[in-house]
Amino acid sequence: MAILVVGSVAFDAVETPSGRRDRCLGGAATYFALAASYLTQVRVIGVVGEDFGPDEERVFVRRKIDTRGIEHVPGKSFFWSGSYMKNLNEAQTLNTELNVFQSFSPKIPAEYQDTEYLFLANIDPVLQEDVRRKMPKVKMVCGDTMNYWIKDHAENLARVLKGLDVLLINDTEVRMLAKDNNLVLAARKVLDMGPKALVVKHGEYGATAFFCERSFAGEKGSITIPFRAPALPLAEVVDPTGAGDSFAGGFFGYIASQPTLTPAVFRRAMFYGSVMGSFAVERFGTERLQQLDPKEIEERFALFRQLSHLE
């Protein structure tokens, strides 16, 4: 089964207590695609500039990610720079240059029309809505967003939320979106806005899924109590960039790889999310996600089982 992701393909500059990089391949869609590529077939919709060359293309091709939906236009690719010097759990954005993203109008290649799973990575909700509308046959849609869209583009975002099966955002974003500081009450309010499930990412503390009363995984065995997956305690977090997108890639990639979505599949997907997030932060940029071995993924999944197993 294939997942289509729409989002940023970018160059990032980051500084963390472990060091700095002035230019590495990044972007929400890139992290998502690499993480999900170990679990299912991935297709990407995005836009890049002339600075995106054969070396960057190869990163996708080596993971058999379909890049026919990445448009190449004159100009510079999206550029983001951030610092984690004050807080490893939350990036401080130093600079965002939209560049070629400014006039981006997503086009869906005909070959992508049969995609069953759609991930709307963190971009302008107007673009998220546009892609959702152009993919009427998808059977499951997950999405992400960030403080910028929540604060200044609330009406557009509200329309996207109505069409989501799962929204994956972090603690701060949930509280901001719901205007409520209590996580449980905030989660309820967000679920009232449309998504059938909400996955709240807590950085180094894991992630919690909240579900709608009106069931998520079909009639039978619906899950309404929350479920929490831990994050792996690590001695060194080299670069937290993309951890959230990698979590989403592991989570949705696993769901897409399974014949049906059951409550048990949803829970395991939360663990695959944590597994991919834990790999992402071990090196700068997408370095670690580019060269994983399927055996390592299964070993880490087993480690997560042990980490949270109760006799």
Catalog residues that contact ligand AMP under the rule CB under 6 A.
8, 10, 12, 26-28, 80, 91, 96, 122-123, 148, 241-245
What single letter denotes the amino acid at residue 254?
A: Y
Angle at 271 between CA 265 and CA 275, to 5 degrees: 135
Using DSSP's 3-state secondary structure scheme, residue 203 falls into helix
Report in angstroms how near the CB of residue 264 gets to ligand AMP at its nearest: 26
For ligand AMP, give the closer residue by CB, 26 or 253: 26
For ligand AMP, give the closer residue by CB, 148 or 205: 148
Report in angstroms how near the CB of residue 302 gets to ligand AMP at its nearest: 25
Cα separation, 188 vs 259, in Å, equals 29
Report in angstroms how near the CB of residue 296 gets to ligand AMP at its nearest: 21
Report in angstroms how near the CB of residue 91 gets to ligand AMP at its nearest: 6
For ligand AMP, give the closer residue by CB, 172 or 215: 172
The answer to whether 229 and 207 have CB atoms below 8 angstroms apart is: yes
DSSP at 205: G
For ligand AMP, give the closer residue by CB, 222 or 290: 290
Beta carbons within 10 angstroms of residue 296's beta carbon: 14
User: Which residues, at least 6 apart from 248, have a Cβ–Cβ distance to it below 8 Å?
Assistant: 32, 35, 119, 121, 142, 144, 168, 273
Q: Which residue is nearest to ligand AMP (CB)?
A: 26
> Which tokens sit at 64?
């058999």
For ligand AMP, give the closer residue by CB, 123 or 138: 123
Q: Shortest CA distance to 29 belongs to which of 50, 15, 12?
A: 12
Using DSSP's 3-state secondary structure scheme, residue 144 falls into coil
Cα separation, 12 vs 284, in Å, equals 10
Report in angstroms how near the CB of residue 131 gets to ligand AMP at its nearest: 14
For ligand AMP, give the closer residue by CB, 16 or 122: 122
For ligand AMP, give the closer residue by CB, 195 or 244: 244
Report in angstroms how near the CB of residue 107 gets to ligand AMP at its nearest: 18
> Which tokens sit at 55?
């070396």
Report in angstroms how near the CB of residue 8 gets to ligand AMP at its nearest: 3
Cα separation, 60 vs 37, in Å, equals 9
For ligand AMP, give the closer residue by CB, 195 or 242: 242
Cα separation, 229 vs 130, in Å, equals 32
Q: Shortest CA distance to 245 belongs to which of 146, 311, 138?
A: 146
Phi, psi angle pair for 160, to nearest 5°: -65, -45
Report in angstroms how near the CB of residue 165 gets to ligand AMP at its nearest: 20
